[in-house]
Amino acid sequence: MEDQTISNLFYLYNKDIYHFLVYYTGLSDVEDLVQEVFIRAIKGWDSYEKRSSPKTWLISIARHVGIDEIRKRKRRQFLNQIYLNKEASLIEEQTPDHALDINESNKALYQAIQSLKSSYRDVVILRGIKELSVTETAEVLNWSESKVRITFHRALKALKEKKERLSL
C-alpha cells in the first residue's frame, strides 16, 4: 500500500518537484534529484505525520535535496580551487544539457532570482513560481506565516529594484 501511495504521489507531483528543483538549484538536469526526493519520501513515509499536504511535504524534502546538491557543488568547486588552483575550474563545464532552454526575458528573471539572497529566493520560488499558499510556504520553510508574507514582499521589492537597475 505504501509503495502504491508513493507511486501515486510521484505521478501527481513529480513535475512540481522537477520545476522547483530547476529553479532552486539552477540546474536543468535534475531528474536524479527528483528521484532522490522520492527515495527519501519512501524512507520517511512512516514518519510523515500528515500535518501538511503531501505536496508541501514533498517540496520540503525537495528543498533539502536541493540544499544538499548546492553544498555538494560548492564543495566540488572548493576542491577544484585547492587542487587545480585554476580560476577556470571554479566554473562548471557548460554543456548543451546544462543550459536552460528558456527565452531571454525568462532567463533575465531567472538570473535575477538566482542573485537574491537565499531566503528571498526560497520564498519567491515557492510563492511566486510554484504558487504555494502562505501556509504551505511557511510549512516548507519552517517559518511563521507573517515571516513568509514580509519576506515575499521584500523579495519582490528587491527583484523590482534589480529590474529597474538593469533597464537603465
Specify whether 91 is located in the same domain as 128: no
The CATH number given to whatever domain includes residue 115 is 1.10.10.10
Cα(11)–Cα(36) distance, rounded to whole angstroms? Answer: 15
pLDDT (tens digit, 9 = 90+) per residue, 129-161? Answer: 888 899 999 999 999 999 999 999 999 889 888
Residue 27: band (very low, low, confident or very high) from pLDDT cuts 50, 70, 90 = confident
Residue 120 makes CB contacts below 8 A (sequence gap 6+) with 151, 154, 155, 158
- Which residues constitute the domain of residue 66? 1-100
pLDDT (tens digit, 9 = 90+) per residue, 73-129? Answer: 876 665 555 444 433 433 444 444 444 444 555 667 777 888 889 899 999 888 888
Name the DSSP letter for residue 94.
P
Q: Which three cell numbers stand for residue 107?
A: 532567463
Specify whether 79 is located in the same domain as 45: yes
How many independent structural domains does the chain possess?
2
Cα(152)–Cα(103) distance, rounded to whole angstroms? Answer: 25
Specify whether 80 is located in the same domain as 111: no
Place of cell 532522490: 36
